[in-house]
């Protein structure tokens, strides 16, 4: 199950105003896009979710947790995520039932992708949900992992690339959690790690452009989901090269 989302198409068709910012759906449904009376997707199995959150200056998202594993990727602006200073491109991972935050936008606001490999019904805010969080400790560990900021390569830096490079920016764990950055010269290609080692992967085009074999060229801030049953993804850089982030989820507890 390989799913791609073009950032230009997503912004033109799925961007919607919320009471405290903007939200753009890229892949899957989320709590904000379910229609009245529509049944939510099953929480069992793999269900990719990707959406972009845009917050205004000084906006605050209070500490909370989710019932699904989650990546957040800062792609514009800056601020604080818990104790971490974040800016583009910072990657933040939390296991299900791992509380984090607050997220505080700086003066220029902040935008981030939320990426999940399973359905999540929405945030549980602290301290109101503290008892639920304590009860989940019997099954779920608390884990956070971060890296960055990793500023996207400029056009000049992309043009100067002569060979693909890649390496871990969050070291892979025994259960498959890991994040890698790849830089690829014009019209080059790169293969990522086998997704069978984890619970599926999201790829983000940080700068330049890239495509999957047979697919359309994807501009910056586009994303690709690769399921855990798929072969290792091969991404092809466009005519200006590509700066790519690959984020792999750990194997799910029920897998």
Residue 252 above 80 pLDDT?
no
Q: Would you place residue 253 in the very low, low, confident or very high pLDDT band (cuts 50, 70, 90)?
A: low
Collapse the DSSP code of 81 into the 3-class scheme (helix H, G, I; strand E, B; otherwise coil) and give the result: strand
Q: Which tens digit of pLDDT belongs to each residue from 59-94?
A: 999 999 999 999 999 999 999 999 999 999 999 999
pLDDT at residue 167 greater than cutoff 90: yes
Question: Over pLDDT 90: what percentage of the chain?
Answer: 87
Grade residue 255 by pLDDT with cuts at 50, 70 and 90.
very low
Give me the mean pLDDT over the 16-43 stretch.
87
> For residue range 214-236, what is the model confidence (pLDDT) as tens digits?
999 999 999 999 999 999 999 99
| All structural domains of the chain | 7-147 (2.60.120.10), 155-248 (2.60.120.10)
Question: DSSP E strands: which ranges in the chain?
Answer: 2-5, 15-18, 21-27, 49-55, 60-61, 64-65, 70-81, 84-87, 90-94, 103-116, 124-125, 144-147, 165-170, 178-184, 189-191, 201-211, 223-226, 234-248
Q: Say what the pLDDT of residue 159 is.
A: 96
**pLDDT at residue 30, as a whole number:** 87
Per-residue pLDDT at 101 exceeds 50: yes
Q: pLDDT value at position 91?
A: 98
The predicted model scores a pTM of 0.94
Looking at the DSSP bridge assignments, the partners of residue 166 are 182
* C-alpha count within 13 angstroms, C-beta hemisphere, residue 195: 26
* Position 24 confidence tier, pLDDT thresholds 50, 70, 90: very high
């Amino acid at each position: 199950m390989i799913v791609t989302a073009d950032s230009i198409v997503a912004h033109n068709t799925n961007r919607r105003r919320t009471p405290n910012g903007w939200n753009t759906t890229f892949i899957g449904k989320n709590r904000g896009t379910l229609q009245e009376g529509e049944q939510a997707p099953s929480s069992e199995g793999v269900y990719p979710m990707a959406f972009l959150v845009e917050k205004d200056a000084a906006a605050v998202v209070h500490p909370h947790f989710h019932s699904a594993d989650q990546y957040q990727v800062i792609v514009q602006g800056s601020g604080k995520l818990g104790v971490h200073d974040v800016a583009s491109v910072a990657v933040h991972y939390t296991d299900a039932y791992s509380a984090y935050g607050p997220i505080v936008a700086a003066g220029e606001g902040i935008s981030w992708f939320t990426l999940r490999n399973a359905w999540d019904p929405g945030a549980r805010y602290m301290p109101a949900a503290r008892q639920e969080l304590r009860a989940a400790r019997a099954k779920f560990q608390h884990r956070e992992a971060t890296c960055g900021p990793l500023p996207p390569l400029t056009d000049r830096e992309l043009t100067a690339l002569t060979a693909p490079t890649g390496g871990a920016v969050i070291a892979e764990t025994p259960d498959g959690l890991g994040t890698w950055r790849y830089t690829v010269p014009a019209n080059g290609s790169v293969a990522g790690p086998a997704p069978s080692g984890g619970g599926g992967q999201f790829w983000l085009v940080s700068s330049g452009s890239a495509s999957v074999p047979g697919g359309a060229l994807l501009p910056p801030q586009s994303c690709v989901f690769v399921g855990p049953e798929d072969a290792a993804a091969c991404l092809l850089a466009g005519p200006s090269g590509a700066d790519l982030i690959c984020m792999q989820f750990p194997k799910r507890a029920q897998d």
